[in-house]
């Protein structure tokens, strides 16, 4: 047995995707000898994502569901998921993973290898040799590159893909942070989390991933979300030192 991992999957209208993601994670972990718990954090998705998860629980007893009353954003969902995982499991590692099929379970072995090298955090990176952003509309790729370039220039984080949402975090590294002190509600949470992990002394590594477009369904990201991301980068820069 290679240890215990808890996968946090935030969902909003991912009924058509969540089953294959859950199956992929449990299948890969079984092959790797990792004891997995998967927690879906659903924000009352109108498409019935939670109903689908309850059906899946018949096949996967280690699949858990945290239901929240309303859509509050990715950041709030992750904070609730992390708190649940720390309180209810004895996992050594927590994973962040999208539930839309863009993050592939086949890379889990690479994450575990990088953790075994002594990293506290491993980020799945699209922007390093072996990684890429596949079939993304040009404007999305440009925005992603631009945001990463700007954030790196402002905050000097030791990474090439600070916006990636496919990550492994050692329990001890997460426990050093005050989860109640996070201010981000949405996608910008990913930046706040990485920034706090870096400043708490976590050793951060990376592994290449090929990010593919969501399997089904519609994107939830808006221009407002992108603006919140950049606004947070600016605030962190202004408050540096
Ligand atoms: N619980 C919860 N999950 C969310 C929320 N917003 C997004 N998500 C989930 O977070 C993950 C990432 O969101 P996506 O909309 O796929 O963001 P993205 O990958 O940048 O963009 P697309 O794949 O193009 O849609 C998915 O599993 C979403 O369902 C939210 O407000 N609450
Ligand atoms: Mg997505």
Please spell the DSSP secondary structure of 144-167, one letter per residue: HHHHHHHHHHHH--S-S-TT---E
Ligand 1 pocket, mutate which of 18, 69, 98, 147 (most atoms under 8 A from CB): 98
Q: Check pLDDT > 80 for residue 190.
A: yes
Q: Which pLDDT does position 156 carry in this prediction?
A: 81
Q: Which of 68, 66, 64, 18 is nearest to 43 (CA)?
A: 68
Q: Which atom, in ligand 1's list, is nearest to the CA of 217?
A: 25
Gap from CA of 239 to ligand 2 centroid (Å): 30
Gap from CA of 167 to ligand 2 centroid (Å): 14
Residues within a 6 A CB radius of ligand 1: 10-12, 14, 41-43, 71-74, 77, 98-100, 102, 214, 219-221
Q: Which atom, in ligand 1's list, is nearest to the CA of 77?
A: 1
Beta bridge partners of 64: 39
Gap from CA of 171 to ligand 2 centroid (Å): 25
Q: Which ligand is nearest to the CA of 187?
A: 1
Grade residue 205 by pLDDT with cuts at 50, 70 and 90.
Answer: very high
Q: How far is CA 86 from the centre of its chain?
A: 16
Report the length, in residues, of the chain.
Answer: 241
Q: Which ligand is nearest to the CA of 217?
A: 1
Residue nearest to atom 22 of ligand 1 (CA): 219
Domain 4-238 fold: Spore Coat Polysaccharide Biosynthesis Protein SpsA; Chain A (3.90.550)
Ligand 1 pocket, mutate which of 42, 47, 74, 80 (most atoms under 8 A from CB): 74
Which residues neighbour 167 within 8 Å (Cβ) at sequence distance 6 or greater?
95, 96, 121, 122, 123, 124
Q: Which ligand is nearest to the CA of 11?
A: 1
**96-122: per-residue pLDDT in tens?**
999 999 999 999 999 999 999 999 999
Gap from CA of 76 to ligand 1 centroid (Å): 12
Q: Delimit the domains of the chain by residue range.
A: 4-238
Q: Which atom, in ligand 1's list, is nearest to the CA of 73?
A: 31
Question: Which tokens belong to 101?
Answer: 């099929």
Q: Check pLDDT > 70 for residue 60.
A: yes
Q: Which ligand is nearest to the CA of 136?
A: 1
**8-56: per-residue pLDDT in tens?**
999 999 999 999 999 999 999 999 999 999 999 999 999 999 999 999 9
Q: Which pLDDT does position 206 carry in this prediction?
A: 96
């Amino acid at each position: 047995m290679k240890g215990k991992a808890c996968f946090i999957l935030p969902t909003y209208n991912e009924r058509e995707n969540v089953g294959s993601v859950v199956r992929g994670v449990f299948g890969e972990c079984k092959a790797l000898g990792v004891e997995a718990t998967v927690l879906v954090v659903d924000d009352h998705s109108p498409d019935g994502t939670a109903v689908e998860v309850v059906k899946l629980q018949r096949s996967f007893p280690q699949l858990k569901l945290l239901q929240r009353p309303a859509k509050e954003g990715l950041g709030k969902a992750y904070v609730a998921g992390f708190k649940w995982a720390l309180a209810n499991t004895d996992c050594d590692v927590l994973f962040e993973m999208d539930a839309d099929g863009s993050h592939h379970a086949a890379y889990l072995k690479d994450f575990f290898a990088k953790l075994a090298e002594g990293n506290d955090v491993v980020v799945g990176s699209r922007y390093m040799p072996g990684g890429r952003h596949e079939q993304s509309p040009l404007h999305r790729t440009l925005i992603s590159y631009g945001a990463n370039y700007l954030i790196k220039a402002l905050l000097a984080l030791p990474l090439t893909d600070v916006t990636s949402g496919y990550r492994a975090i050692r329990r001890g590294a997460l426990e050093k942070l005050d989860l109640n002190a996070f201010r981000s509600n949405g996608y910008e949470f990913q930046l706040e989390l990485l920034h706090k992990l870096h400043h708490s002394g976590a050793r951060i590594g990376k592994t290449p991933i090929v990010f593919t477009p969501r399997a089904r369904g519609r994107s939830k990201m808006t221009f407002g979300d992108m603006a919140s991301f950049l606004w947070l980068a600016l605030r962190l820069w202004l408050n540096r030192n």
